[in-house]
Chain A
Amino acid sequence: MKTRNIAKKIIVYVFLISAFVVSVFPFYWMIVGMTNKSVDVIKGKMTFGNQLINNLTTLFTTFDMKGVLFNSLKISVLTVIGTLIISSMAAYGFQIFSSPAREKIYNAILLSMMVPFAALMIPLFRLIVKFGLLNKHIGLILTSIASVFIIFFFRQSIKSFPHEIIQAARVDGAGEFRIFFTIFMPSMRSTYAAAAIYSFMNSWNAYLWPLIVLQTDEKKTVTLLISSMSSAYTPQYGVIMTAIVIATLPIIIVFFTFQRYFVQGMLGSVKQ
Protein backbone atom coordinates (compact mmCIF):
# COMPACT_ATOMS: atom_id res chain seq x y z
CA MET A 1 0.00 0.00 0.00
CA LYS A 2 2.69 2.44 1.02
CA THR A 3 4.95 1.73 -1.97
CA ARG A 4 1.97 2.00 -4.28
CA ASN A 5 1.23 5.45 -2.90
CA ILE A 6 4.81 6.50 -3.38
CA ALA A 7 4.76 5.23 -6.96
CA LYS A 8 1.60 7.23 -7.60
CA LYS A 9 3.18 10.35 -6.12
CA ILE A 10 6.20 9.93 -8.37
CA ILE A 11 4.00 9.67 -11.46
CA VAL A 12 2.11 12.81 -10.43
CA TYR A 13 5.32 14.76 -9.89
CA VAL A 14 6.85 13.56 -13.16
CA PHE A 15 3.70 14.69 -14.96
CA LEU A 16 3.62 18.08 -13.25
CA ILE A 17 7.34 18.68 -13.76
CA SER A 18 7.10 17.83 -17.47
CA ALA A 19 4.14 20.17 -17.89
CA PHE A 20 6.09 22.87 -16.07
CA VAL A 21 9.25 22.39 -18.16
CA VAL A 22 7.33 22.37 -21.45
CA SER A 23 5.48 25.54 -20.42
CA VAL A 24 8.49 27.47 -19.22
CA PHE A 25 11.18 26.27 -21.61
CA PRO A 26 10.24 28.54 -24.55
CA PHE A 27 10.67 31.52 -22.24
CA TYR A 28 14.17 30.41 -21.32
CA TRP A 29 14.93 29.75 -24.98
CA MET A 30 13.66 33.18 -25.94
CA ILE A 31 15.90 34.90 -23.39
CA VAL A 32 18.90 32.83 -24.44
CA GLY A 33 18.10 33.53 -28.08
CA MET A 34 18.29 37.24 -27.41
CA THR A 35 22.01 36.86 -26.70
CA ASN A 36 22.83 34.67 -29.70
CA LYS A 37 23.50 34.98 -33.43
CA SER A 38 20.79 34.11 -35.95
CA VAL A 39 22.50 30.82 -36.90
CA ASP A 40 22.82 29.72 -33.29
CA VAL A 41 19.20 30.54 -32.49
CA ILE A 42 17.83 28.39 -35.28
CA LYS A 43 20.15 25.52 -34.39
CA GLY A 44 18.76 25.60 -30.88
CA LYS A 45 21.83 26.69 -28.92
CA MET A 46 20.83 26.57 -25.27
CA THR A 47 23.55 28.62 -23.64
CA PHE A 48 23.95 32.38 -23.39
CA GLY A 49 26.02 34.09 -26.09
CA ASN A 50 27.52 37.55 -26.38
CA GLN A 51 25.33 39.06 -29.09
CA LEU A 52 22.88 40.94 -26.89
CA ILE A 53 24.30 44.40 -27.63
CA ASN A 54 24.51 43.62 -31.35
CA ASN A 55 20.93 42.39 -31.48
CA LEU A 56 19.66 45.40 -29.56
CA THR A 57 21.58 47.80 -31.81
CA THR A 58 20.21 46.16 -34.96
CA LEU A 59 16.70 46.15 -33.54
CA PHE A 60 16.75 49.84 -32.72
CA THR A 61 18.66 51.04 -35.79
CA THR A 62 17.68 48.80 -38.72
CA PHE A 63 14.11 48.56 -37.47
CA ASP A 64 12.06 51.35 -35.94
CA MET A 65 11.64 49.56 -32.61
CA LYS A 66 11.45 52.82 -30.66
CA GLY A 67 8.68 54.10 -32.91
CA VAL A 68 6.56 50.96 -32.79
CA LEU A 69 6.98 50.61 -29.02
CA PHE A 70 5.75 54.17 -28.64
CA ASN A 71 2.80 53.46 -30.97
CA SER A 72 1.84 50.30 -29.09
CA LEU A 73 2.09 52.02 -25.73
CA LYS A 74 0.07 55.01 -26.89
CA ILE A 75 -2.69 52.88 -28.42
CA SER A 76 -2.85 50.52 -25.45
CA VAL A 77 -2.86 53.18 -22.75
CA LEU A 78 -5.52 55.28 -24.48
CA THR A 79 -7.60 52.17 -25.16
CA VAL A 80 -7.39 51.08 -21.52
CA ILE A 81 -8.38 54.52 -20.20
CA GLY A 82 -11.23 54.84 -22.68
CA THR A 83 -12.47 51.31 -22.09
CA LEU A 84 -12.44 51.61 -18.32
CA ILE A 85 -14.40 54.86 -18.25
CA ILE A 86 -16.91 54.17 -21.03
CA SER A 87 -17.54 50.49 -20.40
CA SER A 88 -17.79 50.81 -16.61
CA MET A 89 -20.17 53.75 -16.97
CA ALA A 90 -22.37 51.69 -19.26
CA ALA A 91 -22.33 48.74 -16.87
CA TYR A 92 -23.24 51.09 -14.00
CA GLY A 93 -26.09 52.52 -16.05
CA PHE A 94 -27.42 49.07 -16.93
CA GLN A 95 -27.24 47.77 -13.37
CA ILE A 96 -28.05 50.73 -11.11
CA PHE A 97 -30.69 52.34 -13.34
CA SER A 98 -32.17 49.17 -14.70
CA SER A 99 -35.28 49.43 -16.86
CA PRO A 100 -36.98 46.96 -19.21
CA ALA A 101 -35.92 48.92 -22.31
CA ARG A 102 -32.30 49.07 -21.27
CA GLU A 103 -32.37 45.41 -20.30
CA LYS A 104 -33.39 44.57 -23.88
CA ILE A 105 -30.47 46.59 -25.23
CA TYR A 106 -28.14 44.84 -22.81
CA ASN A 107 -29.29 41.40 -23.92
CA ALA A 108 -28.86 42.34 -27.57
CA ILE A 109 -25.33 43.53 -26.84
CA LEU A 110 -24.49 40.34 -24.94
CA LEU A 111 -25.75 38.19 -27.77
CA SER A 112 -23.41 39.96 -30.17
CA MET A 113 -20.48 38.65 -28.13
CA MET A 114 -21.03 35.34 -29.92
CA VAL A 115 -20.41 36.91 -33.31
CA PRO A 116 -16.80 36.39 -34.35
CA PHE A 117 -14.71 39.36 -35.35
CA ALA A 118 -14.33 38.05 -38.89
CA ALA A 119 -18.02 38.74 -39.45
CA LEU A 120 -17.66 42.43 -38.55
CA MET A 121 -14.36 42.99 -40.21
CA ILE A 122 -15.57 43.98 -43.68
CA PRO A 123 -18.26 46.57 -42.76
CA LEU A 124 -15.97 47.84 -40.00
CA PHE A 125 -13.16 48.34 -42.50
CA ARG A 126 -15.50 50.24 -44.82
CA LEU A 127 -16.70 52.44 -41.94
CA ILE A 128 -13.13 53.27 -41.00
CA VAL A 129 -12.39 54.24 -44.59
CA LYS A 130 -15.55 56.34 -44.78
CA PHE A 131 -14.79 58.19 -41.54
CA GLY A 132 -11.24 58.91 -42.74
CA LEU A 133 -9.77 56.86 -39.90
CA LEU A 134 -7.74 54.48 -42.05
CA ASN A 135 -4.08 54.32 -40.98
CA LYS A 136 -4.88 56.36 -37.86
CA HIS A 137 -4.41 55.12 -34.29
CA ILE A 138 -7.66 56.71 -33.26
CA GLY A 139 -9.42 54.33 -35.64
CA LEU A 140 -8.18 51.39 -33.58
CA ILE A 141 -8.93 53.03 -30.25
CA LEU A 142 -12.43 54.23 -31.11
CA THR A 143 -13.52 50.80 -32.32
CA SER A 144 -12.41 49.01 -29.17
CA ILE A 145 -13.24 51.24 -26.18
CA ALA A 146 -16.85 50.07 -25.90
CA SER A 147 -16.06 46.46 -25.06
CA VAL A 148 -18.97 44.09 -24.61
CA PHE A 149 -16.95 41.74 -22.46
CA ILE A 150 -15.73 44.52 -20.15
CA ILE A 151 -19.29 45.89 -19.79
CA PHE A 152 -20.48 42.39 -18.88
CA PHE A 153 -17.54 41.93 -16.53
CA PHE A 154 -18.21 45.24 -14.72
CA ARG A 155 -21.91 44.56 -14.44
CA GLN A 156 -21.25 41.24 -12.70
CA SER A 157 -19.13 42.97 -10.05
CA ILE A 158 -21.52 45.90 -9.63
CA LYS A 159 -24.18 43.38 -8.57
CA SER A 160 -22.31 42.95 -5.31
CA PHE A 161 -21.79 46.70 -4.82
CA PRO A 162 -23.87 47.88 -1.82
CA HIS A 163 -26.77 49.96 -3.09
CA GLU A 164 -27.09 51.71 0.30
CA ILE A 165 -23.89 53.66 -0.33
CA ILE A 166 -25.41 55.20 -3.43
CA GLN A 167 -28.68 55.97 -1.61
CA ALA A 168 -26.80 57.60 1.25
CA ALA A 169 -24.80 59.77 -1.15
CA ARG A 170 -28.03 60.83 -2.91
CA VAL A 171 -29.55 61.84 0.41
CA ASP A 172 -26.43 63.93 1.00
CA GLY A 173 -27.22 65.67 -2.27
CA ALA A 174 -24.44 64.25 -4.43
CA GLY A 175 -25.15 64.21 -8.18
CA GLU A 176 -25.27 60.89 -10.02
CA PHE A 177 -22.03 61.47 -11.95
CA ARG A 178 -20.25 62.62 -8.80
CA ILE A 179 -21.35 59.44 -7.06
CA PHE A 180 -20.00 57.42 -9.94
CA PHE A 181 -16.63 59.13 -10.20
CA THR A 182 -15.86 59.85 -6.55
CA ILE A 183 -17.56 56.99 -4.69
CA PHE A 184 -18.10 54.09 -7.03
CA MET A 185 -14.85 54.18 -9.03
CA PRO A 186 -12.43 54.34 -6.07
CA SER A 187 -14.21 51.55 -4.20
CA MET A 188 -14.08 49.21 -7.20
CA ARG A 189 -10.30 49.43 -7.62
CA SER A 190 -9.72 45.68 -7.92
CA THR A 191 -12.35 45.29 -10.64
CA TYR A 192 -10.80 48.19 -12.53
CA ALA A 193 -7.37 46.58 -12.15
CA ALA A 194 -8.58 43.30 -13.63
CA ALA A 195 -10.36 45.05 -16.50
CA ALA A 196 -7.25 47.17 -17.14
CA ILE A 197 -4.99 44.12 -17.45
CA TYR A 198 -7.44 42.38 -19.73
CA SER A 199 -7.89 45.36 -21.98
CA PHE A 200 -4.17 46.21 -22.02
CA MET A 201 -3.22 42.66 -23.01
CA ASN A 202 -5.85 42.61 -25.75
CA SER A 203 -4.78 45.90 -27.19
CA TRP A 204 -1.02 45.29 -26.91
CA ASN A 205 -1.28 41.85 -28.52
CA ALA A 206 -3.87 42.67 -31.18
CA TYR A 207 -2.90 41.60 -34.67
CA LEU A 208 -5.68 41.19 -37.24
CA TRP A 209 -7.44 44.53 -36.82
CA PRO A 210 -4.23 46.63 -36.62
CA LEU A 211 -2.95 44.71 -39.65
CA ILE A 212 -5.96 45.96 -41.59
CA VAL A 213 -6.17 49.51 -40.23
CA LEU A 214 -2.49 50.51 -39.97
CA GLN A 215 -0.98 50.53 -43.40
CA THR A 216 2.26 52.50 -43.26
CA ASP A 217 5.39 51.51 -41.34
CA GLU A 218 5.52 54.56 -39.07
CA LYS A 219 2.05 53.75 -37.71
CA LYS A 220 2.70 50.06 -36.97
CA THR A 221 2.66 48.38 -33.57
CA VAL A 222 5.21 46.03 -31.97
CA THR A 223 3.10 42.99 -32.81
CA LEU A 224 2.97 43.96 -36.48
CA LEU A 225 6.70 44.63 -36.57
CA ILE A 226 7.54 41.22 -35.07
CA SER A 227 5.24 39.53 -37.54
CA SER A 228 6.81 41.25 -40.54
CA MET A 229 10.35 40.64 -39.23
CA SER A 230 9.77 36.90 -39.09
CA SER A 231 8.34 36.71 -42.59
CA ALA A 232 11.35 38.50 -44.09
CA TYR A 233 13.33 36.68 -46.78
CA THR A 234 16.26 36.08 -44.43
CA PRO A 235 14.90 36.49 -40.90
CA GLN A 236 17.39 37.65 -38.26
CA TYR A 237 16.40 35.27 -35.51
CA GLY A 238 18.49 36.77 -32.72
CA VAL A 239 16.99 40.19 -33.40
CA ILE A 240 13.47 38.75 -33.57
CA MET A 241 14.02 37.05 -30.20
CA THR A 242 15.12 40.38 -28.73
CA ALA A 243 11.98 42.05 -30.07
CA ILE A 244 9.78 39.25 -28.69
CA VAL A 245 11.35 39.53 -25.24
CA ILE A 246 10.94 43.31 -25.20
CA ALA A 247 7.31 43.01 -26.35
CA THR A 248 6.46 40.25 -23.85
CA LEU A 249 8.20 41.57 -20.75
CA PRO A 250 5.84 44.49 -19.96
CA ILE A 251 2.84 42.14 -20.11
CA ILE A 252 4.48 39.59 -17.81
CA ILE A 253 5.35 42.28 -15.29
CA VAL A 254 1.91 43.91 -15.37
CA PHE A 255 0.23 40.55 -15.16
CA PHE A 256 2.11 39.15 -12.21
CA THR A 257 1.77 42.38 -10.28
CA PHE A 258 -2.01 42.24 -10.50
CA GLN A 259 -2.72 38.55 -11.12
CA ARG A 260 -4.62 38.19 -7.87
CA TYR A 261 -7.31 40.59 -9.08
CA PHE A 262 -7.32 39.15 -12.55
CA VAL A 263 -8.14 35.53 -11.80
CA GLN A 264 -10.71 36.38 -9.13
CA GLY A 265 -12.36 38.95 -11.35
CA MET A 266 -12.52 36.74 -14.42
CA LEU A 267 -13.91 33.83 -12.45
CA GLY A 268 -16.48 36.04 -10.74
CA SER A 269 -17.82 37.06 -14.13
CA VAL A 270 -18.14 33.46 -15.26
CA LYS A 271 -19.91 32.04 -12.27
CA GLN A 272 -23.05 34.13 -12.23
Chain B
Amino acid sequence: MTGATSSRSFVKSNNLYGWLFISIAVILLAVFLLYPIVYSLYLSTTSSKGIVQNFVGLKNYIRLVKDPMFLLALKNTFTLFIIQVPIMLLLALILASLLNDKTIKFRGIFRTGIFLPAVTSLVAYTILFKMMFALDGFINTALMNLHIIKEPIPWLLDPVWAKITIMIALTWRWTGYNMVFYLSALQNIPDEIYEASEIDGASKVQQFFHITIPILKPLIVFTSIMSTIGTLQLFDEPMNLAQAGVTSATTGPGNSLLTLSVYIYNLCFKYMPDFGYAATVSYVIVFIVAILTVIQFKVAGDKS
Protein backbone atom coordinates (compact mmCIF):
# COMPACT_ATOMS: atom_id res chain seq x y z
CA MET B 1 0.00 0.00 0.00
CA THR B 2 2.57 2.54 1.13
CA GLY B 3 4.92 1.26 -1.53
CA ALA B 4 2.33 1.95 -4.22
CA THR B 5 1.63 5.47 -2.95
CA SER B 6 5.27 6.41 -2.70
CA SER B 7 6.01 5.11 -6.17
CA ARG B 8 3.01 7.02 -7.51
CA SER B 9 4.18 10.21 -5.81
CA PHE B 10 7.64 9.54 -7.17
CA VAL B 11 6.25 9.35 -10.69
CA LYS B 12 4.33 12.56 -10.03
CA SER B 13 7.35 14.45 -8.72
CA ASN B 14 9.40 12.98 -11.52
CA ASN B 15 6.95 14.47 -13.94
CA LEU B 16 7.16 17.84 -12.20
CA TYR B 17 10.96 17.81 -12.35
CA GLY B 18 10.78 16.92 -16.01
CA TRP B 19 8.78 20.09 -16.68
CA LEU B 20 11.02 22.18 -14.43
CA PHE B 21 14.20 21.10 -16.19
CA ILE B 22 12.92 21.83 -19.66
CA SER B 23 10.85 24.91 -18.77
CA ILE B 24 13.30 27.76 -19.45
CA ALA B 25 14.47 26.34 -22.78
CA VAL B 26 10.94 25.48 -23.88
CA ILE B 27 9.62 28.95 -23.05
CA LEU B 28 12.50 30.61 -24.90
CA LEU B 29 12.09 28.32 -27.89
CA ALA B 30 8.34 28.85 -27.96
CA VAL B 31 8.80 32.62 -28.03
CA PHE B 32 11.88 32.95 -30.21
CA LEU B 33 11.53 29.92 -32.49
CA LEU B 34 8.09 28.31 -32.73
CA TYR B 35 6.11 31.55 -32.62
CA PRO B 36 8.24 33.16 -35.36
CA ILE B 37 7.91 30.08 -37.57
CA VAL B 38 4.13 30.09 -37.31
CA TYR B 39 3.81 33.87 -37.47
CA SER B 40 6.01 33.94 -40.55
CA LEU B 41 3.63 31.57 -42.29
CA TYR B 42 0.75 33.90 -41.42
CA LEU B 43 2.76 36.96 -42.55
CA SER B 44 3.33 35.31 -45.90
CA THR B 45 -0.38 35.68 -46.59
CA THR B 46 -0.42 39.40 -45.83
CA SER B 47 0.82 42.46 -47.60
CA SER B 48 2.34 45.22 -45.53
CA LYS B 49 3.16 48.64 -46.79
CA GLY B 50 4.58 50.55 -43.84
CA ILE B 51 2.47 49.67 -40.81
CA VAL B 52 -0.75 48.77 -42.61
CA GLN B 53 -1.13 45.03 -42.96
CA ASN B 54 -3.73 43.41 -45.17
CA PHE B 55 -4.67 39.81 -45.65
CA VAL B 56 -4.07 38.86 -49.28
CA GLY B 57 -4.27 35.07 -49.18
CA LEU B 58 -2.05 33.37 -51.70
CA LYS B 59 -1.43 36.53 -53.70
CA ASN B 60 2.17 36.77 -52.49
CA TYR B 61 2.83 33.25 -53.67
CA ILE B 62 1.48 34.13 -57.11
CA ARG B 63 3.60 37.29 -57.14
CA LEU B 64 6.70 35.07 -56.72
CA VAL B 65 6.30 33.57 -60.17
CA LYS B 66 6.26 37.00 -61.79
CA ASP B 67 9.06 38.51 -59.72
CA PRO B 68 12.26 38.54 -61.83
CA MET B 69 14.43 39.31 -58.78
CA PHE B 70 13.06 36.32 -56.90
CA LEU B 71 13.52 34.03 -59.92
CA LEU B 72 17.09 35.27 -60.31
CA ALA B 73 17.83 34.65 -56.62
CA LEU B 74 16.31 31.19 -56.90
CA LYS B 75 18.37 30.41 -60.00
CA ASN B 76 21.59 31.70 -58.41
CA THR B 77 21.02 29.71 -55.23
CA PHE B 78 20.31 26.53 -57.16
CA THR B 79 23.30 26.96 -59.46
CA LEU B 80 25.58 27.25 -56.44
CA PHE B 81 23.93 24.32 -54.69
CA ILE B 82 23.90 21.90 -57.64
CA ILE B 83 27.50 22.50 -58.69
CA GLN B 84 29.30 23.26 -55.45
CA VAL B 85 27.87 20.75 -52.96
CA PRO B 86 28.65 17.55 -54.93
CA ILE B 87 32.17 18.73 -55.83
CA MET B 88 32.92 19.60 -52.22
CA LEU B 89 31.52 16.38 -50.75
CA LEU B 90 33.32 14.22 -53.31
CA LEU B 91 36.56 16.04 -52.60
CA ALA B 92 36.03 15.59 -48.87
CA LEU B 93 35.36 11.86 -49.37
CA ILE B 94 38.48 11.38 -51.47
CA LEU B 95 40.65 13.26 -48.99
CA ALA B 96 39.18 11.32 -46.09
CA SER B 97 39.80 7.94 -47.68
CA LEU B 98 43.36 8.91 -48.64
CA LEU B 99 44.07 10.08 -45.11
CA ASN B 100 42.58 6.91 -43.68
CA ASP B 101 45.43 4.94 -45.28
CA LYS B 102 47.80 4.20 -42.41
CA THR B 103 50.84 4.02 -44.69
CA ILE B 104 50.56 7.74 -45.51
CA LYS B 105 53.05 9.83 -43.59
CA PHE B 106 52.22 13.10 -41.77
CA ARG B 107 48.53 12.23 -41.69
CA GLY B 108 47.92 14.41 -38.61
CA ILE B 109 49.50 17.46 -40.24
CA PHE B 110 47.52 17.00 -43.45
CA ARG B 111 44.29 16.55 -41.53
CA THR B 112 44.81 19.60 -39.32
CA GLY B 113 45.88 21.79 -42.24
CA ILE B 114 42.97 20.82 -44.46
CA PHE B 115 40.54 21.30 -41.58
CA LEU B 116 41.95 24.72 -40.61
CA PRO B 117 39.64 26.78 -42.92
CA ALA B 118 36.62 25.50 -40.96
CA VAL B 119 37.53 27.57 -37.91
CA THR B 120 37.49 30.91 -39.70
CA SER B 121 34.47 33.15 -39.49
CA LEU B 122 32.38 33.32 -42.66
CA VAL B 123 32.81 37.06 -42.91
CA ALA B 124 36.58 36.94 -42.33
CA TYR B 125 37.33 34.32 -44.95
CA THR B 126 35.01 35.95 -47.48
CA ILE B 127 36.85 39.24 -47.15
CA LEU B 128 40.15 37.42 -47.45
CA PHE B 129 38.92 35.89 -50.71
CA LYS B 130 37.60 39.22 -51.91
CA MET B 131 41.11 40.65 -51.53
CA MET B 132 42.82 37.65 -53.11
CA PHE B 133 40.48 37.61 -56.11
CA ALA B 134 40.55 41.36 -56.78
CA LEU B 135 41.37 42.35 -60.38
CA ASP B 136 44.92 43.38 -59.45
CA GLY B 137 44.96 40.97 -56.52
CA PHE B 138 47.13 38.07 -55.49
CA ILE B 139 45.51 35.33 -57.60
CA ASN B 140 45.68 37.24 -60.88
CA THR B 141 49.22 38.44 -60.18
CA ALA B 142 50.34 34.89 -59.36
CA LEU B 143 48.62 33.34 -62.40
CA MET B 144 50.14 35.98 -64.69
CA ASN B 145 53.61 35.54 -63.22
CA LEU B 146 53.30 31.81 -63.81
CA HIS B 147 52.22 32.58 -67.41
CA ILE B 148 49.02 30.57 -66.99
CA ILE B 149 46.93 33.54 -68.09
CA LYS B 150 47.80 36.61 -70.18
CA GLU B 151 45.01 38.92 -69.08
CA PRO B 152 43.75 39.27 -65.50
CA ILE B 153 40.56 37.27 -64.89
CA PRO B 154 37.62 39.54 -63.86
CA TRP B 155 36.87 37.27 -60.86
CA LEU B 156 34.45 39.54 -59.09
CA LEU B 157 33.45 41.76 -62.02
CA ASP B 158 31.85 39.21 -64.33
CA PRO B 159 28.63 37.32 -63.44
CA VAL B 160 29.99 33.86 -64.31
CA TRP B 161 33.39 34.37 -62.73
CA ALA B 162 31.76 35.80 -59.59
CA LYS B 163 29.85 32.54 -59.15
CA ILE B 164 33.02 30.56 -59.71
CA THR B 165 34.79 32.66 -57.09
CA ILE B 166 32.11 32.08 -54.48
CA MET B 167 32.16 28.33 -55.23
CA ILE B 168 35.93 28.24 -54.79
CA ALA B 169 35.56 30.12 -51.52
CA LEU B 170 32.81 27.82 -50.23
CA THR B 171 34.77 24.72 -51.18
CA TRP B 172 37.85 26.08 -49.40
CA ARG B 173 35.87 26.78 -46.24
CA TRP B 174 33.84 23.55 -45.93
CA THR B 175 35.77 20.65 -47.55
CA GLY B 176 37.94 20.04 -44.50
CA TYR B 177 34.95 20.28 -42.20
CA ASN B 178 33.13 17.51 -44.08
CA MET B 179 36.32 15.51 -44.42
CA VAL B 180 36.72 15.32 -40.64
CA PHE B 181 33.25 13.81 -40.32
CA TYR B 182 34.02 11.17 -42.95
CA LEU B 183 37.45 10.48 -41.53
CA SER B 184 36.20 9.82 -38.02
CA ALA B 185 33.61 7.41 -39.39
CA LEU B 186 36.19 5.67 -41.60
CA GLN B 187 38.43 5.09 -38.62
CA ASN B 188 35.68 2.94 -37.13
CA ILE B 189 35.67 0.59 -40.12
CA PRO B 190 37.79 -2.43 -39.24
CA ASP B 191 40.94 -2.76 -41.37
CA GLU B 192 40.10 -6.42 -41.99
CA ILE B 193 37.35 -5.44 -44.43
CA TYR B 194 39.84 -3.65 -46.63
CA GLU B 195 42.46 -6.38 -46.20
CA ALA B 196 39.98 -9.09 -47.15
CA SER B 197 38.88 -7.22 -50.25
CA GLU B 198 42.52 -6.70 -51.20
CA ILE B 199 43.09 -10.43 -51.05
CA ASP B 200 40.07 -10.82 -53.31
CA GLY B 201 41.84 -8.54 -55.77
CA ALA B 202 39.84 -5.34 -55.33
CA SER B 203 41.61 -2.16 -56.41
CA LYS B 204 41.67 1.02 -54.31
CA VAL B 205 39.08 2.62 -56.59
CA GLN B 206 36.80 -0.43 -56.29
CA GLN B 207 37.22 -0.33 -52.51
CA PHE B 208 36.25 3.34 -52.54
CA PHE B 209 32.99 2.70 -54.41
CA HIS B 210 32.05 -0.68 -52.92
CA ILE B 211 33.18 -0.36 -49.30
CA THR B 212 33.81 3.23 -48.30
CA ILE B 213 30.79 4.91 -49.90
CA PRO B 214 28.17 2.32 -48.79
CA ILE B 215 29.45 2.38 -45.21
CA LEU B 216 29.49 6.16 -45.11
CA LYS B 217 26.06 6.47 -46.73
CA PRO B 218 24.17 7.72 -43.65
CA LEU B 219 26.88 10.28 -43.03
CA ILE B 220 26.90 11.35 -46.68
CA VAL B 221 23.16 11.94 -46.45
CA PHE B 222 23.62 13.90 -43.25
CA THR B 223 26.38 16.09 -44.68
CA SER B 224 24.50 16.71 -47.90
CA ILE B 225 21.42 17.79 -45.96
CA MET B 226 23.53 20.13 -43.85
CA SER B 227 25.21 21.55 -46.96
CA THR B 228 21.84 21.94 -48.66
CA ILE B 229 20.44 23.93 -45.77
CA GLY B 230 23.68 25.92 -45.61
CA THR B 231 23.67 26.78 -49.31
CA LEU B 232 20.00 27.74 -49.33
CA GLN B 233 20.71 30.10 -46.43
CA LEU B 234 23.84 31.58 -47.98
CA PHE B 235 24.11 35.17 -46.80
CA ASP B 236 27.47 36.16 -45.27
CA GLU B 237 29.52 35.24 -48.34
CA PRO B 238 27.53 36.93 -51.15
CA MET B 239 26.93 39.99 -48.98
CA ASN B 240 30.62 40.45 -48.22
CA LEU B 241 31.90 39.55 -51.69
CA ALA B 242 29.70 42.31 -53.12
CA GLN B 243 31.60 45.47 -53.98
CA ALA B 244 30.33 47.66 -51.15
CA GLY B 245 28.97 45.00 -48.80
CA VAL B 246 25.54 45.66 -47.34
CA THR B 247 25.21 49.03 -49.07
CA SER B 248 25.89 47.70 -52.59
CA ALA B 249 23.34 48.51 -55.26
CA THR B 250 23.60 44.95 -56.58
CA THR B 251 24.90 41.79 -54.94
CA GLY B 252 27.75 40.85 -57.25
CA PRO B 253 27.97 41.91 -60.91
CA GLY B 254 24.47 41.89 -62.43
CA ASN B 255 23.15 40.51 -59.10
CA SER B 256 24.91 37.24 -59.90
CA LEU B 257 25.46 36.62 -56.17
CA LEU B 258 21.93 37.50 -55.13
CA THR B 259 20.78 34.53 -53.04
CA LEU B 260 17.37 33.93 -51.49
CA SER B 261 18.55 35.00 -48.02
CA VAL B 262 20.10 38.19 -49.38
CA TYR B 263 16.86 38.93 -51.22
CA ILE B 264 14.86 38.48 -48.01
CA TYR B 265 17.23 40.85 -46.22
CA ASN B 266 16.85 43.38 -49.02
CA LEU B 267 13.06 43.13 -48.94
CA CYS B 268 13.05 43.84 -45.20
CA PHE B 269 15.85 46.28 -44.61
CA LYS B 270 16.97 47.80 -47.89
CA TYR B 271 13.95 48.50 -50.04
CA MET B 272 10.67 49.78 -48.65
CA PRO B 273 9.96 47.11 -46.02
CA ASP B 274 7.54 44.48 -47.22
CA PHE B 275 7.59 41.94 -44.41
CA GLY B 276 4.67 39.97 -45.82
CA TYR B 277 6.29 39.28 -49.15
CA ALA B 278 9.67 38.66 -47.50
CA ALA B 279 8.04 36.01 -45.33
CA THR B 280 6.65 34.39 -48.49
CA VAL B 281 10.15 34.17 -49.96
CA SER B 282 11.44 32.73 -46.69
CA TYR B 283 8.78 30.02 -46.76
CA VAL B 284 9.93 29.08 -50.23
CA ILE B 285 13.26 28.16 -48.61
CA VAL B 286 11.42 26.09 -45.99
CA PHE B 287 9.55 24.17 -48.70
CA ILE B 288 12.69 23.60 -50.77
CA VAL B 289 14.62 22.36 -47.73
CA ALA B 290 11.77 19.99 -46.86
CA ILE B 291 11.51 18.61 -50.40
CA LEU B 292 15.26 18.20 -50.86
CA THR B 293 15.60 16.50 -47.49
CA VAL B 294 12.93 13.96 -48.40
CA ILE B 295 14.62 13.35 -51.75
CA GLN B 296 18.01 12.87 -50.13
CA PHE B 297 16.59 10.33 -47.70
CA LYS B 298 14.83 8.52 -50.55
CA VAL B 299 18.00 8.42 -52.66
CA ALA B 300 19.85 6.96 -49.72
CA GLY B 301 17.11 4.36 -49.30
CA ASP B 302 16.95 5.05 -45.60
CA LYS B 303 13.75 3.54 -44.22
CA SER B 304 13.70 5.68 -41.09
Q: Which residues of A contact B (CB under 8 A)?
A: 8, 12-13, 15-16, 19-20, 22-24, 26-27, 29-30, 33, 41-44, 86-87, 89-90, 92-94, 96-99, 102, 105, 108-109, 112, 114-127, 142-143, 145-146, 148, 151, 176, 180, 201, 204-205, 207-208, 211-212, 223, 226-228, 230-231, 233, 237, 240-241, 244, 247-248, 251-252, 255-256, 263-264, 266-267, 270-271
Contact A123 B39 (CB under 8 A): yes
Residue B70 lies at the interface, judged by CB distance under 8 Å to chain A: no
Q: Give a binary string over B28-42; 1 marks a CB under 8 Å from any A CB, 0 the rest.
A: 110111111101100
Closest to B118 in A: A255
* Total number of B residues with any Cβ neighbor in A under 8 Å: 98
Contact A93 B18 (CB under 8 A): yes
Contact B24 A121 (CB under 8 A): no
Q: Which residues of B contact A (CB under 8 A)?
A: 14-15, 17-22, 24-26, 28-29, 31-37, 39-40, 43, 94-95, 98-99, 101, 104, 109-110, 112-117, 119-125, 127-132, 134, 136-139, 141-142, 172, 175-176, 180-181, 184-185, 204, 219, 222, 229, 232-233, 235-236, 239-240, 242-248, 260-261, 264-265, 268-269, 275, 278-279, 281-283, 285-286, 289-290, 293
Contact B181 A266 (CB under 8 A): yes
- Name A244's contact: one of B22, B110, B124 (CB within 8 Å): B124
Contact A122 B21 (CB under 8 A): no
Q: How far is the CA of A211 from the CA of B43 in the complex (A)?
A: 22
Closest to B26 in A: A105
Q: How far is the CA of A263 from the CA of B184 in the complex (A)?
A: 8
Contact B121 A204 (CB under 8 A): yes
- Name A247's contact: one of B117, B121, B176 (CB within 8 Å): B121
Q: How far is the CA of A86 from the CA of B286 in the complex (A)?
A: 27
Q: How far is the CA of A226 from the CA of B121 in the complex (A)?
A: 11
Residues of B within 8 A of A102 (CB): 18-19, 22
Question: Given A16-B95, A143-B32, do A231 and B268 touch, yes or no (CB 8 Å)?
Answer: no
Q: How far is the CA of A233 from the CA of B29 in the complex (A)?
A: 41
Q: How far is the CA of A92 from the CA of B138 in the complex (A)?
A: 51
Q: How far is the CA of A227 from the CA of B19 in the complex (A)?
A: 42
* Minimal beta-carbon separation of B113 from chain A (angstroms): 4
Question: Given A127-B32, A223-B121, A263-B184, do A23 and B116 touch, yes or no (CB 8 Å)?
Answer: yes
Residues of A within 8 A of B39 (CB): 123
* Minimal beta-carbon separation of B30 from chain A (angstroms): 9
Contact B268 A223 (CB under 8 A): no
A-B contacts, 26 listed (Cβ < 8 Å): A20-B114, A23-B117, A24-B116, A90-B26, A109-B26, A109-B34, A112-B29, A114-B229, A116-B229, A116-B232, A116-B261, A118-B233, A119-B37, A120-B40, A122-B275, A123-B36, A142-B32, A176-B21, A205-B122, A208-B236, A226-B123, A227-B127, A228-B245, A241-B131, A251-B120, A271-B185
